[in-house]
Structure 1
């Protein structure tokens, strides 16, 4: 009886190899051959799933959403009766390169951000991702406002955007070592202290 192959799982494993390659050697170094070596699959297998490097990279970029969601769900599950602030902070911490998975995802995000300026397909995916996360951020801050958790006079939409872009703005400095992860988290906490009761 032929062996059953989970094609989606195999694609995800190849995408994870792309993350590792970009995190180790940068975006420019990624090749189908490198991903075959990293994943342990043959070159033919990699090309079966991704005939071109761009198709592979586009899939990896889309896969980032799933990876982040798994880590965010795990972070939220570790919280005991979380407040809106707890959920917002957990989401921001997942986006920062404060552990190996976060570092890989941040490297991929930064690499694709640069490539997106000249590759519309990357720009479309990144834009859609930003819009999704901003919607979640707005919903979280609006929920906090409804629950009376925000300081009087706080505009939840404006603060949701400001906090999200503060988080995004810290990714590069943490990757480059300008800020340690604890310092970046302290900046996020200081921001949240100003807007939450």
Structure 2
């Protein structure tokens, strides 16, 4: 009986190979051949799933969003009776390059962000992803405000994007070694202290 192939799993493995190539050699190094080599498969296998480099990269970008979401869900599920502040802090940490998985995802994200300035399809995917994250963040801050957890005068509609874009602004400095992960997280904690009641 022929072996059953999980085609979605194979696509995900190729996307992970794309991430590894970007993380070690940069966005410009990504080619069908390099991804095939990284994944340990033939060029024909890669072309079977992704006839063009553009199709491969578009899938990789959508897979990155799914991968970050899976890490986020696992992180939140591991928390014991978390407060809303705990949830926001954990989600923020997942989006920062403070561990190997986060660092690889950040390298990929930065590469796609740069490419998105000249590739509308990448820009659309990134806008959609940012929009979803911001919507969830605003909703969580609204819940915290309704529960009386935010300090007086804190506007959830403003606090959520401020924290989110503080987080985004820390990615580059961590990647290039200007800030250590613990220093970046200390800045996040200081911002949370300004937003949440003790």
TM-score (norm: length of structure 1): 0.99
Runs of 4+ in 1 over 3 A off after TM superposition: none
CA deviation profile, 1:13-61 (whole Å, cap 9, x unmatched): 0000111110111100111111111111111000000111111011000
Q: Which residue of 2 aligns with 1:53?
A: 53
**Counterpart check, 1:177 vs 2:198:** no
Q: Which residue of 2 aligns with 1:15?
A: 15
Q: Which residue of 2 aligns with 1:74?
A: 74
Distance in structure 2 (CA, Å) of the matches to 1:116 and 1:83? 36
Q: Which residue of 2 aligns with 1:85?
A: 85
Cα RMSD of the aligned pairs, angstroms, is 0.6
Structure 1: tracts of 5 or more residues without a match: none
Q: Which residue of 2 aligns with 1:96?
A: 96
Q: Which residue of 2 aligns with 1:24?
A: 24
CA deviation profile, 1:117-161 (whole Å, cap 9, x unmatched): 000000000000000100011011111111111011110010001
Q: Which residue of 2 aligns with 1:6?
A: 6
Distance in structure 1 (CA, Å) of the matches to 2:21 and 2:105? 11
Shift of 1:170: 0.3
Q: Map 1:158-173 onto structure 2 (within 5 A).
A: 158-173=158-173
CA deviation profile, 1:56-96 (whole Å, cap 9, x unmatched): 01100000111101111111122110000000011110000
Shift of 1:188: 0.2
Distance in structure 2 (CA, Å) of the matches to 1:160 and 1:182? 22
**Counterpart check, 1:44 vs 2:44:** yes
Q: Which residue of 1 aligns with 2:128?
A: 128
Distance in structure 2 (CA, Å) of the matches to 1:82 and 1:65? 24
Distance in structure 2 (CA, Å) of the matches to 1:60 and 1:77? 25
Distance in structure 1 (CA, Å) of the matches to 2:174 and 2:105? 13
Distance in structure 2 (CA, Å) of the matches to 1:150 and 1:185? 20
Classify the secondary structure of the residue corresponding to 2:71. helix
Q: Which residue of 2 aligns with 1:149?
A: 149
Shift of 1:193: 0.1
Classify the secondary structure of the residue corresponding to 1:160. helix
Classify the secondary structure of the residue corresponding to 2:132. helix
